[in-house]
Amino acid sequence: MTSLLEVEGLCVTFGSGAGAVRAVRDLDLSVESGEIVALVGESGCGKSLTALTLMRLTPPSARVQGSVKYRGDQILDDKGLKIKALRGKEIAMVFQEPMTSLNPSYTVGDQIAESIRLHLKLPRKQAAKQAIELLRRVRIAAPEQRAKAYPHQLSGGMRQRVMMAIALSCDPKLLILDEPTTALDVTTQAQVLEIVDELRKEANTGVILITHDLGVVADLADKVVIMYAGSTVEKAPVESIYSRPSHPYTRGLLAAIPRRTDGVRKRLDEIPGTVPIVRELPSGCIFADRCSCVEVDCRGAVPKLEMIEDEHYCACWHPQIEVETVSL
């Protein structure tokens, strides 16, 4: 069976020779229809760059290697012609910042209709009608009036839903969401997440969800890829990530989330130091400098992503595999 999207050994490099910066290293990823795969990490871990690379929206200075197969078909070609035909139609993307990604001088209705006219070759009137339908689908009240509004007349939540409407305009099979709710309030975020969940269930769309919010991941994702400084450090089904996090970085991320404690104000676990600059990665394990359970051999060679249990991969010399005593 071929996956909807199969990424193997994806590397993105900037510069060359001694000054080369490998911003994404050896990324493997597969997405099935109706599945939500979350790419999780902190600023600068390469998660957004991965999305841009899949859509071939990287700057010309980026060198991309590896294989990206969409329905078994290699789309990482030299000239980017294959992805051009798919982009916006079969594979759609929603960007983080809805204000900068919408054109301020066109009405949102026109902007939604644009991609319908381009890809589905529908006449203007029909496209406008469909745009209103799409606005309704993303739960915007009074869509007929809203279609005539300019982006600045809408709230942040509505703008993000307009972005969703544009992405959905041609019924994509794969949807890439880059921090879709980061700029939104929690109640609006909940509405947007509901739309994504519905889409996956009803239209069987495959989704790559890029986020730093482990709450959002817990809500929606099926599989989780944790990235750190360009590399995948852990990859597993969502339940395993939360119940048996094995990489010290994943464990650190989960422990750093402020949460309810019974009356007592407990100290949060912090990860000391900061994310290394990708140009100056330490030798050996990239997390060694910040790791709480670092040992001498961690500084030697780079640990490979290895399977530690069913479908659960971890790139660590000393993964913590002990199963917590939970009676499930």
End-to-end CA distance of the chain: 32
CA 160 to chain centre: 16
> Which of residues 217 and 298 has its CB atom nearest to other proteins in the complex?
217
> Which of residues 43 and 61 has its CB atom nearest to other proteins in the complex?
43
Please report how close the Cβ of residue 26 comes to other proteins at its closest, in angstroms. 23
Cα Dmax for the chain: 68
> Which of residues 80 and 156 has its CB atom nearest to other proteins in the complex?
156
Residue with tokens 């939500």: 36
3-state secondary structure 235-298: EEEHHHHHHCCCCHHHHHHHHHCCCCCCCCCCCCCCCCCCCCCHHHCCCCCCCHHHCCCCCHHH
All residues at 6 or more sequence positions from 90 whose CB lies less than 8 Å from its CB, including other chains: 70, 170, 172, 173, 174
Q: Show the DSSP H helices in 148-292 as ranges.
A: 156-168, 186-202, 214-220, 238-243, 248-256
Please report how close the Cβ of residue 142 comes to other proteins at its closest, in angstroms. 11
Give the tokens for residue 162. Answer: 């307009």
Contact (CB, 8 A) for 209 and 181? no
DSSP state letters, 27-38: EEEEE-TT-EEE
Please report how close the Cβ of residue 92 comes to other proteins at its closest, in angstroms. 24
Please report how close the Cβ of residue 177 comes to other proteins at its closest, in angstroms. 15
> Which of residues 83 and 226 has its CB atom nearest to other proteins in the complex?
226
> Which of residues 56 and 290 has its CB atom nearest to other proteins in the complex?
290
> Which of residues 194 and 311 has its CB atom nearest to other proteins in the complex?
194
Contact (CB, 8 A) for 58 and 11? no
Please report how close the Cβ of residue 60 comes to other proteins at its closest, in angstroms. 27
> Which of residues 100 and 155 has its CB atom nearest to other proteins in the complex?
155
Give the tokens for residue 135. Answer: 């606005």
Please report how close the Cβ of residue 43 comes to other proteins at its closest, in angstroms. 6
Please report how close the Cβ of residue 100 comes to other proteins at its closest, in angstroms. 17
> Which of residues 45 and 315 has its CB atom nearest to other proteins in the complex?
45
Please report how close the Cβ of residue 216 comes to other proteins at its closest, in angstroms. 6
Q: Parallel, antiparallel, or unpaired: how do β-strands 36-40 and 223-228 relate?
A: parallel
What is the contact surface with other proteins in residues (CB under 8 A)? 42-43, 141, 155-158, 185-191, 193-194, 212-219, 221, 238-239, 242-243, 252-263, 265, 267-272, 274-275, 324, 326-328
Helix H or strand E segment including 5: strand 5-14
